[in-house]
Amino acid sequence: MSYQSINPFDNKTIKSFKELTDQQLEEKLALAVSCFATWKTKSYDERAKVIHQAARLLHEQADHFAHIMTLEMGKRISEAKGEVEFSSKILDYYAKNAERFLADVKLNPEHGIGHMESSPIGVVFCVEPWNFPYYQLARIAGPHLMAGNTVLVKHAGNVPQCAIAFEKLLLDAGAPAGLYTNLMISHTQSGALIDDRRVKGVALTGSTAAGRVIAAAAGKALKPSSMELGGSDAFIVLDDADMERTIKWALWGRMYNCGQTCCAAKRFIVVEAVADTFLAAFTSAMAALKAGDPMDETTTMGPLSSEAALLQLLAQVDVAVKHGARIALGGQREDRPGAFMQPTILTHVEPANPAFRDEFFGPVAMFFRVKDEAAAIALANDSDFGLGGSVFTKDLARGKRVASAVETGMMFINNISWSDADLPFGGIKDTGYGRELGDMGIQEFVNKKLVRYIDAEAPV
């Protein structure tokens, strides 16, 4: 495992970082365990002071944090600023609501009285990806720290400066040493942490392949885990859709973060009656994007996160074409320095094509035309993934019907508003299990304890 900042705009290495030694890792784990012994006794108000302050500092220093993100993984600067602000709101959300979410729940047993109470479980180990370098951290730090746990985080190897900056943010906000710890460690060390009896829970946001490995390790160790993995979301367009609005969402849904989003629109499923109209307009909108410096506010398309990500995507397109897919737009890297790929649309992707079940993590869209609503639902469900999806129609009742029929963790009608602090996020099938954000996100790593009292003599 290597930790390097490489600017994908020009593929120049900025800085490299050394992995922790086993002894250094042991010291950080021991400190997290020690911190938990104290942190779990703090009141919600005491915890909230730290998390509120972190949110405030993140908001005040948004430009600083955004700059690091754009430098390391190429996110357009306007999107980077938006992510920083959203991360701040997530921290604030849990600082305000954690006590209410984890309040005792009164029960009404047939005999006596009882309640369920929530308590932290200890050190939680989190493995996080590069595509949203702060948002991914905020949505584990906010809930799990407010619940009274301490957190160890292995961030992605290509965003080490983002990882360092977020750890410093918590320390600057008054977090005690060991509360939130960034770890630059190897895969072997990561596996050892999951096995360590002092680690009580495991969370991953990443690929399905990584999820299988880490979930298996957590299961073997009998530890609770949450897995937010890949996605290949359906974007369903029915014959009565508002086409102008639909195209705007289609472009945003595929190209936000240069398409490097697990819940991005990836499979565009359009009923025959409007298929030609949609494809022509969508192709025109995609073709109008211009690659440029992600630090420039006027740039409409930035680079992929790395040269490796670009090469993987090009290889996937090549395999798709060799198995019968046709390129309606793009399909190649941009003729310029950096990890840039042309906006790409693939058509005629048949079920036997490997691309049919692939996740394209970048600016590649697959277009499918179907006979009717029923066929659209069937195709949407013919996927190994089940994260999100959307349906576009002027008939709200119809939209609700389709949303209910699609097998996925989230569905959106006439929008793709993926994430809000107060809405649970997650999926099914190969997308994994568990939920983040909302009131469900804070429940993943707490002990739900039954307490019951009966005023009666003990049985003889």
Say if CB 365 and CB 269 are below 8 A apart: no
Residue 455: predicted pLDDT: 81
pLDDT score of 78 more than 80: yes
> What whole-number distance in Å separates Cα of residue 189 and Cα of residue 194?
9
User: Are 249 and 106 within one domain?
Assistant: no
| Same-domain pairing of 94 and 222 | yes
- Residue 299 covered by a domain: yes
Residue 206 has φ and ψ, to the nearest 5°, of 180, -155
Same domain, 102 and 206: yes
Kindly name the residue from 128, 228, 359, 444 that is annotated as catalytic.
228
The catalytic residue among 35, 126, 258, 262 is: 262
Task: Identify the domain containing residue 285 by its residue range.
Answer: 233-413
Q: What kind and span of H or E run contains 308?
A: helix 307-322
- Per-residue confidence (pLDDT) for residue 233, from 0 to 100: 98
Per-residue pLDDT of 104-154, as tens digits, reads 999 999 889 999 999 999 999 999 999 999 999 999 999 999 999 999 999
What distance in Å separates the CA atoms of residue 199 and residue 202, rounded to the nearest whole number? 8
The amino acid that residue 204 corresponds to is: L
Q: Are residues 203 and 303 in the same domain?
A: no
- CATH number of the domain encompassing residue 317: 3.40.309.10
Neighbours of 122 (CB within 10 A): 18
Q: Does a structural domain hold residue 425?
A: no
Together in a domain, 323 and 343: yes
Are 165 and 313 in a shared domain? no
Number of structural domains the chain divides into: 2
Torsional class of 122: left (φ above 0), alpha (ψ -120 to 50), beta (otherwise): left
Whole-number average pLDDT of the chain = 97
Residues 298 and 185 in one domain: no
Told to judge if 262 belongs to the known catalytic residues of this protein, a careful annotator would answer: yes
159 occurs within a structural domain: yes
Q: Is residue 457 part of a domain?
A: no
Whether residue 245 sits in one domain with residue 137: no
Q: Are both 136 and 8 inside the same structural domain?
A: yes
459 lies in some domain: no
Check if 258 is active-site: no
Residue 362's pLDDT band (cuts 50, 70, 90): very high
Position 417 pLDDT exceeds 90: no
* CATH number for the domain harbouring residue 51: 3.40.605.10
Contact 48, 95 (CB under 8 A): yes
Q: Three-state SS for 180?
A: strand
Q: Is 118 domain-assigned?
A: yes
Q: What is the mean pLDDT of residues 356-360?
A: 97
The verdict on 247 and 167 lying in the same domain is: no
Question: Does residue 243 share a domain with residue 150?
Answer: no
For residue 339, what pLDDT is reported? 98
Shared domain for 56 and 193, answered yes or no, is: yes
418 located within any domain = no
Q: Model pTM?
A: 0.96
| Angstrom distance (rounded) from CA 45 to CA 98 | 10
Strands (E), 335-388: 344-347, 364-370, 385-386
**Alpha-carbon span 227 to 426, nearest angstrom:** 8
456 is a domain residue = no
Q: What mean pLDDT is predicted for residues 167-196?
A: 98
* Confidence class for position 222, pLDDT limits 50, 70, 90: very high
pLDDT (tens digit per residue) in 374-404 = 999 999 999 999 999 999 999 999 999 999 9
The band of 458, judged by pLDDT with boundaries at 50, 70 and 90, is low
User: What pLDDT was estimated at residue 456?
Assistant: 72
Residue 1 confidence (pLDDT) above 70: no
